[in-house]
Chain A
């Protein structure tokens, strides 16, 4: 899959938040978007996934050259897009396994057998050092911040998207957990050729990864792009670059 944003402009409640973003992401590539709070990063992520609130007022979102602006979020997921949420929703009463099984069935067209599916979930949970008892619980309900982030990565590992948008997967995580999350994303990219857009404030997670391009987003536009040197520049000068 090739995901392309062309001069994308997005508003929320009449206020333009994303003001003409261009981005090309191929499967297997890792793009990092950094930027100060309120620069439009999360709105951009939600817009790509088809959230009903942000309104696209200009430009295009293309998947393999075709516009996906008219597609619903579930149809975008079926194409191979995945959004890792900054604040995942808690749904008490909906079992994590039940939910994931339904999601897997919706994306692939058939539900996997229970035994194999549980095995896959358990293996991935182990890689993420996620407590096994969380698997038997309600979706994100009562999970700690770190557990929620890991559960998001677990979902990604099971659903195997083509391109994932990771909205601050490192926020609220301790040093060890950041490394575990990074390693799991790396593994998915390597094993399944997944591409990713990683939104973050910190260089810490990037130190464990191999980004192809670093983008700096500020006030709704991409102001700069480059390699690892750009991270050092941001660390030294902040976002006044």
Chain B
């Protein structure tokens, strides 16, 4: 048995965050209706071949090779660092009286057919790319464990072949041991038949760094609950979220960051561009615990409304239990596209429609610039720029980095 996998999970309060009980948070929520029993495709050769062909077509188009392909019909790993197992035992069953996060976690743990274990050994750099293909309801466990002084750069790309309503539901547990450096970039590009329920629980131990980049782009509805804690002295957590919504897409992104030890950092930057009739709820909660001298916590939420019918609710919040040499700030701002900025771009010869796209892509780019893995950055940029050009979510554009001359740095 792997040391970090196949564990029994106590369901009670497993995935609850304090803000769930807040009336404001309850009011601003996209409810998730879970099926009584998930629908799974059969693991037949035909279905597996279909996923194999789909994965190959993506690899060919992107000119890369994924280290693992994960779906219901096909699960394969080409890397010794990625182990695919069946979950052994999971306690509990989702019920209505549970908190939302715990209910969703219970659903995933009770129904997961696969457990993905990602190990990054210490003392070396590891780069991994995983393709998740949503071919039916997909509750799945992903456990990531980075050893002491280890380094991991993980890119997860989520696509969909589902032709009728299905739920892509990954539950991640991430643990970064002492002195490790981890960056995880998760790009959702599922189609309109897919809903996403994404749960992430992560902790960074002493002097380790955990950077999470989320690109919420695909799926008709997304519910995300991210619980990330700086649990070690000098540990750093940096969460970077960008949402691009259009049509009738709905996003409910709930991110909880915590400082639990001295000199720890927990930063959350969220940006959302909403077009059409789309809706995004950004909930950011920072929790600074006792005895955290020198801790730093920051939440920044920014939104752009690209149409009159789009809607963003930005809800930044903090709980500070210690006030000695602690830095804590939060802010939120949402606005339509800045007319003065548009005039500036127009005055340089750039037509209004192109100026508008340039402004939106610049906004998105400042979040995506945090992705350090070049391929992940290129793909994420291409997909979001494609959306800005009017491409539907769920499709895969040509990589367009040659057309993007990005700023080298966004700060002084």
Contacts of A70 in B (CB 8 A): none
Interchain CA distance A161-B52 in the complex, whole Å: 56
Pair A106/B358 contact, Cβ less than 8 Å: no
Given A103-B349, A106-B350: A73 and B343 interface contact (C-beta under 8 Å): yes
User: What residue in chain B is nearest A84 (Cβ atoms)?
Assistant: B347
With both chains docked as a complex, state the minimum distance between the C-beta of B255 and any C-beta of chain A, in angstroms. Answer: 21
Q: For chain B, residues 337 to 353, give those with C-beta under 8 angstroms from any C-beta of chain A.
A: 338-341, 343-352
* Size class of the B contact interface (CB-based, 8 Å): 20 to 34
A85 contacts B366, C-beta separation under 8 Å: no
A31 CA to B364 CA, complexed, in Å: 41
> Which B residues touch A97, using CB under 8 A?
405
| B363–A77 touching, CB < 8 Å | no
User: Separation in Å of the A189 CB from the closest CB of chain B?
Assistant: 20
| Residue from the list B338, B349, B363 in contact with A159, Cβ < 8 A | B349
What sequence of 0s and 1s flags, for each residue 384-412 of chain B, a beta carbon within 8 Å of any chain A beta carbon?
Answer: 00000000000000000000111111111
Q: Which of B352-373 contact A (CB under 8 A)?
A: 352, 354-355, 358-359, 361-366, 369
A137, B410: Cβ atoms closer than 8 Å: yes
Residue ID in chain A nearest B412 by CB atoms: A142
* A96 touches B (CB below 8 Å): yes
B411 (CB) vs chain A CBs: closest residue: A142
| Smallest Cβ-Cβ distance to A141: which chain B residue | B410
Q: What residues of A have a CB within 8 angstroms of the CB of B359 in the complex?
A: 91, 94
Q: Which residues of B are found within 8 Å of A77, using beta-carbon distances?
A: 346-349
Q: How far is it, in angstroms, between the C-alpha of A95 and the C-alpha of B405 when the chains are bound?
A: 6
- 0/1 per residue, A121-138, Cβ < 8 Å to B? 000000000000100111
| Bound CA span A98–B352, Å | 17
Given B339, B343, B407, B412, which contacts A94 in the complex, CB threshold below 8 Å? B407
**Inter-chain contact A74/B366, CB cutoff 8 Å:** no
- Contact flags A63-97 to B (C-beta < 8 A → 1, else 0): 00000000011101110001101001101111111
Please, what's the 1-or-0 string for B303-314, where 1 marks a CB less than 8 Å from any CB in chain A?
Answer: 000000000000
When the two chains form their complex, are residues B362 and A138 in contact, meaning their CB atoms are under 8 A apart? yes
A91-B359, A93-B369, A106-B348 are contacts. A101–B343 as well, Cβ < 8 Å?
no
Q: For A46, give the chain B residue with the smallest CB separation.
A: B343
Contact B408 A74 (CB under 8 A): no
With A94-B365, A138-B410, A142-B411 given, is the CB distance from A103 to B348 under 8 Å? yes
What is the total of A-B residue contacts with beta carbons within 8 Å? Answer: 110
Q: By the criterion CB–CB under 8 Å, are A74 and B352 in contact?
A: yes
- In the complex, A107 has a CB within 8 A of chain B: yes
Smallest distance from the beta carbon of A150 to chain B beta carbons, Å? 16
Q: Is the CB of B344 within 8 A of A92?
A: no
Q: Is the CB of A85 within 8 A of B344?
A: yes
Tell me the smallest distance from the CB of B345 to a CB of chain A, in Å: 8
B404 and A98 form a contact (CB under 8 A): yes
Provide the bound-state CA to CA distance between A137 and B355, in Å: 19
B407 adjacent to A89 (CB under 8 Å): no
Give the residues from 3 to 26 in chain A that come closer than 8 angstroms, CB to CB, to chain B: none
Interface residues of A in 134-161 (CB under 8 A from B): 136-139, 141-142, 155, 159
B339 touches A74 (CB 8 A): no
Q: Whole-angstrom distance between the alpha carbons of A73 and B342 in the complex? A: 10
Is A190's beta carbon under 8 Å from chain B? Answer: no
Chain B residue numbers with a CB within 8 Å of A155 are 348
Q: Report which of A76, A89, A101, A136 forms a contact with B341, defined as CB distance below 8 A.
A: A89
Question: Which partner residue on chain A sits nearest B360 by CB separation?
Answer: A93
Cβ of A37 within 8 Å of any chain B Cβ, yes or no, is: no
Task: Report chain A residues within 8 Å CB of B352.
Answer: 72, 74
Q: Are A89 and B349 in contact (CB under 8 A)?
A: no
CA–CA, A138 to B351, complex, Å? 20
Given the interface pairs A89-B341, A106-B354, the reply to whether A95 lies near B347 with Cβ below 8 Å is: no
A52 adjacent to B410 (CB under 8 Å): no
List 22 A-B pairs, Cβ < 8 Å.
A72-B346, A72-B352, A74-B351, A91-B341, A91-B359, A92-B362, A93-B364, A93-B407, A93-B410, A94-B358, A94-B361, A94-B365, A99-B345, A101-B405, A102-B354, A103-B350, A106-B349, A106-B354, A136-B408, A139-B362, A141-B410, A159-B348
The 6 A-B pairs of least Cβ separation, nearest first, read: A94-B362, A136-B408, A93-B366, A93-B362, A98-B405, A73-B346
Binding site for A on B (CB under 8 A): 338-341, 343-352, 354-355, 358-359, 361-366, 369, 404-412
